[in-house]
Chain A
């Protein structure tokens, strides 16, 4: 599949730009962000609260297959303009990570295609760079675990 998601992380800046073009009308793309049942489907998380309005707030919770909560996140919604933008904060619960500010812009390209631009502002450059490396660190961990499995079987 063609790689449509672009990440722009300029060195020394405490922000990140994520862009993606969708084969979806802008109204549908926007809907995927505001309808709790739909958010649950593509984010793979449980939506406890999602108030799409100025000064609203949101709360998500992710559980493992045994039902144990493994990840919780929350934030406040600063502004919502239907089919145009969402401004909100994002915070991971029970972690030392500082909240981040997110500007989501929804753009109509054609009647069937649209574009999402996410600008994420972090507390510091160091924190942004640390977060960028997280999936990489997790990947290494997974590789390590698999290696451990193989080694255990050899014993």
Chain B
């Protein structure tokens, strides 16, 4: 049976979010990722596997080493989820700012 995972499951875990942050800065090998954590290498491998299954991380072969890098398309899917809600508040706050600037100049 094919194991299906979604991006929201991937970011549900703090360690996985930390891995995403690390890999966002540069492509890293599994051991370079694991060095940043107190958890066992095996635990980190499991997290990397989950992130790869839901396509947040992509593998890239470089010589004998495998590097992991971020898949920006999937990260965008996460951002898009919250975007309409953010826009709603942004519009509201823009209006507040405009109203108060007008109020300020009238005084």
B-chain residues with CB within 8 Å of residue A20 when the two chains form the complex: 89-90, 93
Q: Mark B73-94, 1 if CB is under 8 A from A, else 0.
A: 0000000011011111110111
Contact of A132 among B85, B94, B96, B98 (CB under 8 A): B85
Central interface residue in A7, A29, A31, A138, by most chain B CB within 10 Å: A7
A29 to B82, Cβ gap below 8 A? Answer: no
Interface size class of B (residues with CB under 8 A): 20 to 34
What is the size, in residues, of chain A's interface with B at 8 Å between Cβ atoms? 31
Asked, given contacts A22-B97, A136-B85, A139-B84, whether A28 binds B103 with beta carbons under 8 Å apart, the answer is yes
Contact of A135 among B84, B96, B99 (CB under 8 A): B84
B-chain residues with CB within 8 Å of residue A31 when the two chains form the complex: 100, 103
Interchain CA distance A42-B101 in the complex, whole Å: 12
Return B102 CB to nearest CB of chain A, in Å: 9
A-side interface residues toward B, CB under 8 Å?
Answer: 1, 3-7, 9, 11-12, 18, 20, 22-24, 28-29, 31-32, 38, 41-44, 116, 132-136, 138-139
**Minimum-distance CB pairs A-B, first 3:** A5-B90, A135-B84, A42-B96
